C-alpha cells in the first residue's frame, strides 16, 4: 500500500516543515504538505557541494511516509520502490541569496524553479503513487550524483527527470556538453621575431575552431555553440618559454556526436594539444514513447490544454541517463526556465500543484501499462 500524502496537512509535521511558513502557502491547495516541503527545501541552502542539510530534509519527508530511504555515499537521496518509473531531480542550486517569501501565490527563493520545485513535486508524486525516487547532487557542477546513479543501480522501466518545463510542457531533447583545455608551449624569443608564440597559436586555434562551427542553422538547438571560458598565457617562471592555456566548452546538438566535435577541434591543431574532460552526450527522445504519450494525456487531463513538446539548448542529467540506460524518458517540472539562476527566481504555487497532478497521472498510467 502506498503511504499517501495528507493533502490537508498544515503546521508542524514530522517531515520538518517550517512552523513559521506563511498561511498563504497552503491556502486552498490540494497539496498542502507538498507545498510545506517545497517551502522548507527552498529555505534550506543547498549550493552545489553543500547539499547535506537539504538532503536530510528530503530524507525526513520520505521517512514520514514510511518509505525506504537513505543517503548514499555521494549524497543522493535514494527512495527505491516501484521501478516502473524512476522520478529524479537535483538537490543542488547555484549560489544566490534570495529571501524566501510567499506573496500573491508566488514562492520566491533560490532553487524554487531550478530545480527544487520539480524535485519536491516529484517527491510528492513518488509518495502518492509508490514509484521510485532519487534526489541527486551536483547537477549544477559535475553531475556526480547522476554519474554515480547510472553506475550503481539497475535500469528502470522509465525515467522522468526533473527540470522546469512549465506544468504544460515536457522536454524531450537536450544538447550535449564537451569541455577541455588547450595547452601550448613555445620558446621565449624577442617580440620582433616573426614566428608565432604559444599565445598566438592558441588564439589562432580557437578562431579556426569557432569559425568552423559558425554556421546558419534552424535555431540554436541544432547549432554547435562554442565558448572560451578562460584564457591564460605568458612567460614561464624560468623565463625560457611562453605558455598558453584556453578552457573551452561546446554544446553539441543531437545531429552530431561528441566525437564529431572533438575531431574538428583536434584537426585544427598546429601546435599544442587539448585535454578533454568527461563528455555528456546529446539526447533527443521520440514523442511517441510511452513516457511522452503519458505526459500528453496527463497534461490534457489536468488542464484541458495542448501539451508543449520542448527541446532545450542546455544540458541536463537526462543526457547522462539516456547515455547509460535504454529506456524511455523525458524531463518535466513546474516553473519558467527563463528564471533559472535569475535574481528574481520564483514559482507559481498553483503551477506546482498542477505539476504534481500531472506527475501522479503519468506514474499511474505507466505503472498500469
Residue pLDDT tens, the chain, 369 long: 355 665 554 444 444 444 478 989 998 899 999 999 999 999 999 999 999 999 999 999 999 999 999 999 999 999 999 999 999 999 999 999 999 999 999 999 999 999 999 999 999 999 999 999 999 999 999 999 999 999 999 999 999 999 999 999 999 999 999 999 999 999 875 455 667 899 999 999 999 999 999 986 778 999 999 999 999 999 987 878 899 999 999 999 999 999 999 999 999 999 999 999 999 999 999 999 999 999 999 999 999 899 999 999 999 999 999 999 999 999 999 999 999 999 999 999 999 999 999 999 999 999 987
Q: Can 92 be counted among the known catalytic residues?
A: yes
Q: Which entry of 139, 243, 285, 357 is annotated as an active-site residue?
A: 139
pTM: 0.90
Question: Angle at which helices 290-303 and 349-368 pack, to 10 degrees?
Answer: 130
pLDDT at residue 19 in the model: 47
* Cell numbers linked to 123: 517527491
Tell me what pLDDT residue 193 has: 60
Q: Is the dihedral of CA 88, 72, 314, 251 positive or negative?
A: negative
Whether residue 238 lies in the annotated active site: no
Q: What is the pLDDT of residue 10?
A: 45
Q: How far apart are CA 291 and CA 363, in angstroms?
A: 9
Q: Which of 186, 182, 204, 203 has the alpha carbon at shortest distance from 195?
A: 186
Q: Name all domains of the chain by residue range, CATH numbers in brackets.
A: 23-174+284-368 (3.40.630.10), 176-276 (3.30.70.360)
Tell me how crowded residue 305 is: count the other CB atoms within 10 A of its CB. Answer: 10
Residue 286: per-residue pLDDT: 97
DSSP secondary structure of 51-108: -HHHHHHHHHHHHHTT---EE-TTS-EEE--EEEEEEEEE--B-S-----EEETTEEE
- Annotation: binding site for Zn(2+): 90, 114, 140, 163, 341
Round the CA-based radius of gyration of the chain to a whole number and report it.
23
Total Cβ atoms within 10 A of residue 191: 6
**Which burial class, exposed, middle or buried, applies to 179 when counting CB atoms under 10 A from its CB (0-12, 13-18, 19+)?**
middle
Instruction: Give me the catalytic one of 92, 168, 353, 357.
Output: 92
How far is Cα 118 from Cα 115, in angstroms, rounded to an integer? 5
Amino acid at each position: 500500500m502506498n503511504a499517501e500524502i495528507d493533502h490537508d496537512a498544515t503546521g508542524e509535521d514530522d517531515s520538518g516543515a517550517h512552523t513559521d511558513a506563511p498561511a498563504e502557502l497552503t491556502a486552498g491547495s490540494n497539496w498542502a504538505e507538498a507545498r510545506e516541503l517545497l517551502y522548507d527545501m527552498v529555505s534550506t541552502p543547498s549550493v552545489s557541494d553543500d547539499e547535506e542539510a537539504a538532503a536530510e530534509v528530503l530524507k525526513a519527508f520520505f521517512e514520514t511516509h514510511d518509505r525506504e530511504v537513505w543517503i548514499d555515499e555521494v549524497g543522493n537521496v535514494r527512495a527505491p520502490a516501484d521501478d516502473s518509473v524512476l522520478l529524479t531531480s537535483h538537490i543542488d542550486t547555484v549560489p544566490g541569496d534570495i529571501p524566501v517569501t510567499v506573496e500573491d501565490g508566488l514562492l520566491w527563493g533560490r532553487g524554487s524553479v531550478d530545480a527544487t520545485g520539480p524535485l519536491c513535486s516529484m517527491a510528492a508524486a513518488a509518495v502518492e503513487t509508490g514509484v521510485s525516487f532519487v534526489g541527486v547532487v551536483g547537477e549544477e557542477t559535475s553531475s556526480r550524483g547522476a554519474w554515480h546513479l547510472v553506475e550503481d543501480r539497475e535500469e528502470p522501466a522509465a525515467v522522468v527527470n526533473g527540470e522546469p518545463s512549465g506544468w504544460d510542457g515536457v522536454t524531450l531533447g537536450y544538447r550535449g556538453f564537451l569541455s577541455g583545455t588547450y595547452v601550448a608551449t613555445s620558446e621565449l624569443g624577442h617580440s620582433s621575431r616573426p614566428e608565432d608564440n604559444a599565445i598566438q597559436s592558441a588564439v589562432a586555434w580557437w578562431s579556426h575552431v569557432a569559425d568552423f562551427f559558425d554556421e546558419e542553422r534552424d535555431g540554436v538547438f541544432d547549432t554547435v555553440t562554442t565558448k572560451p571560458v578562460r584564457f591564460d598565457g605568458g612567460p614561464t617562471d624560468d623565463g625560457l618559454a611562453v605558455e598558453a592555456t584556453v578552457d573551452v566548452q561546446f554544446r553539441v546538438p543531437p545531429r552530431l556526436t561528441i566525437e564529431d566535435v572533438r575531431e574538428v577541434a583536434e584537426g585544427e591543431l598546429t601546435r599544442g594539444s587539448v585535454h578533454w574532460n568527461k563528455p555528456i552526450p546529446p539526447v533527443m527522445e521520440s514523442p511517441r514513447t510511452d513516457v511522452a504519450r503519458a505526459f500528453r494525456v496527463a497534461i490534457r487531463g489536468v488542464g484541458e490544454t495542448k501539451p508543449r513538446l520542448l527541446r532545450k539548448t542546455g544540458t541536463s542529467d537526462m543526457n547522462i541517463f539516456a547515455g547509460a540506460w535504454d529506456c524511455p524518458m523525458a524531463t518535466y517540472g513546474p516553473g519558467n526556465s527563463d528564471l533559472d539562476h535569475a535574481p528574481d527566481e520564483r514559482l507559481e504555487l498553483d503551477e506546482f500543484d498542477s505539476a504534481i497532478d500531472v506527475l501522479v497521472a503519468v506514474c499511474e498510467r505507466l505503472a498500469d501499462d
